[in-house]
């Protein structure tokens, strides 16, 4: 029996969905507050915290979508795996545009006096 074929109890499924919705709300708040606080405090660490919140928000949305789909949906499982693998830090070839964007963003912030290099 595969893992995808196992059906979770309805109560457990409701608790997982509630927890994921709470996580999405919390990460959305963090994703808004952290960049504003980073700009106010001129703190790249807070900016990084906001970026981390955005990544956690993205993963929470993927998990919620997976639990809201049919338990035996191979299509949903493949989509979740494909999206998660695309965003994996081990796949550095696909990450080059993201790395360039992050570097250019940091350079722009340094040029405006947001932080010192």
Reply yes or no on whether the pLDDT at 29 is more than 90.
yes
Query: Residue 113 burial (CB < 10 Å; 0-12/13-18/19+)?
Result: exposed
Q: What is the mean pLDDT of residues 94-106?
A: 67
Any idea where the domains of the chain sit in the sequence?
12-88
pTM, whole model, 2 decimals? 0.60
Average pLDDT over residues 29-45: 90
Could you report the per-residue pLDDT of 53-86, keeping only the tens digit for each?
888 888 888 888 877 777 666 776 676 666 666 5
Dihedral (CA of 96, 101, 102, 107) sign: positive
């Amino acid at each position: 029996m595969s893992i995808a074929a196992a059906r979770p109890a309805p109560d457990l499924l409701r608790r997982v969905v509630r927890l994921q919705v709470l996580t999405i709300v919390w990460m959305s708040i963090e994703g808004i507050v952290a960049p504003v606080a980073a700009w106010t405090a001129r703190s790249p660490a807070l900016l990084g915290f906001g970026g981390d919140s955005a990544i956690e928000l993205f993963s929470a949305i993927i998990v919620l979508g997976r639990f809201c789909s049919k338990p035996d949906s191979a299509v949903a499982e493949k989509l979740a795996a494909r999206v998660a693998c695309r965003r994996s830090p081990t796949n550095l070839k696909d990450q080059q545009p993201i790395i360039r964007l992050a570097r250019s963003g940091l350079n722009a912030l340094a040029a405006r006096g947001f932080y010192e290099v």
